[in-house]
Amino acid sequence: MPRPRSLTPDRLAAAALAVLDRDGAAGLTMRAVAAELGMSTMALYRYVEDRDQLELLLVEAVLGAVDTSMPTDPEWTDKIKTLVDRVRMEVESHPAVVPLLLRQRHRAVGSLRWSETVAGILRAAGFDGARRVVALRGLLSYVVGALQLEHYGPLSAPGTVTIAGLPRDEFPVMADTGAHARTVSRDDEFRGGLDLLLSGLQAVSPADPGSGGPASA
């Protein structure tokens, strides 16, 4: 008499996410997730092949919550900003997922759906072939890098080398830069960097050559 499955992938992912949110990446263990569900550790292996697959399920859960529908902003650059904001919002509501994101990203369908929408925006803006590949990859690189930098903290974070107590003779420019850093909010930093990239994209955009055309690319 086969017992019915007591778990759905969704419930598993939700339990894993609860553990992750509560105990951080280091606390995410098969044992902890099983305990969260009130099951034996080995029961998980009936639903998931190994720990790696559990992480994938978790990443899918986070990225799957991202709205990837086409934004309605009139400007294509604003459309992209909106999409970036959406991932950022979702990821930052589960900060501990950041370290898992990279390893699972290319296997997660949610990541692909996001890319599909962004690539669609780029195509509509006139980016074809290799231009679109480079543009999409560039955006992805920036978003991934910026999320990681945000997660692992700014230079002011606790560590051997804090930007505050920097030897001015050895790092004069950084000492000065660090002094201004506290006046820039996390949002300004993230969006400011994205604006730089979008400004570069606009400069090389075939459909919308901007105010001056390609500057350096």
For the CB of residue 111, give the shortest distance to its own copies in the complex, in Å: 8
Residue 217 binds what, of DNA, its own copies, none (CB under 5 to 8 Å, by partner type)? its own copies
Nearer CB in complex with its own copies: 86/105: 105
DSSP letters spanning 121-173: HHHHTT--HHHHHHHHHHHHHHHHHHHHHHHT--TTSSSSS-STT--TTTSHH
Q: Which does 180 bind (CB under 5 to 8 A by kind): its own copies, DNA, none?
A: its own copies
- Minimum separation from the CB atom of position 203 to its own copies (A): 5
42 binds, among DNA, its own copies, none (CB under 5 to 8 A by kind): DNA
Binding to DNA (CB under 7 A) within 26-45 occurs at 27-32, 39-43, 45
Name which of residues 39 to 98 contact DNA (CB under 7 A): 39-43, 45-47, 50-52
69 binds, among its own copies, DNA, none (CB under 5 to 8 A by kind): none
Q: Examine residue 182 and tell whether it contacts DNA (CB under 7 A).
A: no
Return the number of the residue (3 or 180) whose C-beta is nearest its own copies: 180
Q: Which long-range contacts (CB under 8 A, 24 or more apart) does 139-147 make?
A: 139/80, 139/84, 139/197, 140/115, 142/193, 142/194, 142/197, 143/84, 143/87, 143/88, 143/194, 144/101, 144/102, 144/105, 146/189, 146/190, 146/193, 146/194, 147/88, 147/91, 147/92, 147/98, 147/101
